[in-house]
Amino acid sequence: MTERNFDFLMPSVNFFGPGVISKIGERAKTLGMQKPVIVTDKFLESLPNGAVAQVRRSLDAAGIDYVIYNQVEPNPKIHNIQAVKALYQANQADSLITIGGGSAHDTGKGAGIIMTNGDDITKLAGIETLKNALPPLIAVNTTAGTGSELTRHCVITNEETHYKFVVASWRNMPLVSFNDPTLMLDVPKGLTAATGMDAFVQAIEPFVSVDHNPITDSQCIQAIKLIETSLREAVANGHNLEARTHMVEAEMLAGMAFNNANLGYVHAMAHQLGGQYDAPHGVCCALLLPYVEEYNLIACPERFAELAKIMGENTDGLSTRNAAELAIKAMKQLSEDVGIPHSIKEIGAKIEDFEHMATNALKDGNAFSNPRKGTKEDIIKIFQAAYDAK
């Protein structure tokens, strides 16, 4: 048996289940929050009984004052985090409540980072670069998705260079997360598919990562099983509370897994597509997944053969290589079934961008845990395979 040492980072408090959102006012009071900035977008703010409305009711009942920033954008930009910081300081706020998907959480985290670690977030890209913790942050999650509500990552796009980068640090963890599946019942099909595929990739990449450990393995296995059985149903019938609940469980497990075992080239490359073309993150991940894993397969065929079994494929009597290939086939099938496009052409990718996107992908913190070490030329070939896909 191989003896292994590892440290394992867990978020502090996580509320989970239908209806838990009503507890946020009391929890904010317990934390001593007196004036949080709510970080969200106009659409979520406009829903009469959506997450923002329910959080406001609960804060009002607890007698907590707040201000709202409602300009979160998908693939959040540096100007978004600066605007939150300005609003926070102008109102002498003392905490943050992010409401939405990964973009809202990363906007809130990014604002917290520049309030406590210096104004230029581009200098903080990388792993464990933060010296100070964020102001208290509660993350209310509304997509089953990114895991950002409980991870140490913050993903921001530099709007001038289109470079999307990650700041990863244990000091960047939300204090409390809320995952209430009733807030996700009306997520449209396309967004359910994209965010669900993001969670799926976030369970696959840590499973084959060089940093995986027995705890992250068990989280990945359970997340993959839940996604394999529930994502199609959640896309087909958004009001199926059981399927939505399973997807939330899966995204939380995957979030905890990649918080510790890290990701790989899918995320390193997806960040380039998202930054360059402002494309939805989950779609970028799903489009790249089979081509990155075809490339990775020879580095750890046994892990891929195991993945095939976890995804319900019959591998009896097959060689490790043939079983491993079934895992890639199953990934493509899931993507197809939930309606993800086939080629990165469909999100506007251009061949002339591959070279600089490949250079930046190899600098992304997620690249370091990929099971196979590639060159810039290898990454360009993977972009090309995802471009040529039919």
Q: Under the rule (CB under 6 A), what is the footprint of ligand NAD?
A: 41, 43-44, 74-75, 100-104, 106, 142-143, 145-148, 151, 153-155, 183-184, 186-187, 191, 195, 198, 274, 281-282
- Name the burial class of residue 145, with classes exposed (0-12), middle (13-18) and buried (19+) by CB atoms within 10 angstroms of its CB: buried
Q: Looking at the chain, list the stretches that DSSP marks H as alpha helix, in order from N- to C-terminal side.
A: 24-30, 42-46, 51-61, 78-90, 102-117, 189-208, 214-236, 241-261, 265-277, 281-296, 301-310, 320-337, 354-363, 376-388
> In the bound complex, what is the minimum distance in angstroms from residue 99's beta carbon to ligand NAD?
9
Which CB sits closer to ligand NAD, 112 or 301?
Answer: 112
Q: In the chain, what is the greatest distance between 2 CA atoms, to the nearest angstrom?
A: 67
> In the bound complex, what is the minimum distance in angstroms from residue 269's beta carbon to ligand NAD?
12
Say if CB 382 and CB 375 are below 8 A apart. no
> In the bound complex, what is the minimum distance in angstroms from residue 312's beta carbon to ligand NAD?
25
Residue with tokens 């499973």: 207
Which CB sits closer to ligand NAD, 179 or 296?
Answer: 179
Which CB sits closer to ligand NAD, 191 or 382?
Answer: 191
Which CB sits closer to ligand NAD, 279 or 328?
Answer: 279
If you count them, how many residues does the chain have?
390
Which CB sits closer to ligand NAD, 41 or 293?
Answer: 41
CB neighbours of residue 225 within 10 Å: 17
CA distance 323 to 327: 7
> In the bound complex, what is the minimum distance in angstroms from residue 66's beta carbon to ligand NAD?
19
Which CB sits closer to ligand NAD, 208 or 324?
Answer: 208
> In the bound complex, what is the minimum distance in angstroms from residue 177's beta carbon to ligand NAD?
11
CA distance 364 to 356: 13
Which CB sits closer to ligand NAD, 73 or 378?
Answer: 73
317: left (phi over 0), alpha (psi -120 to 50) or beta: left
> In the bound complex, what is the minimum distance in angstroms from residue 209's beta carbon to ligand NAD?
15
> In the bound complex, what is the minimum distance in angstroms from residue 96's beta carbon to ligand NAD?
14
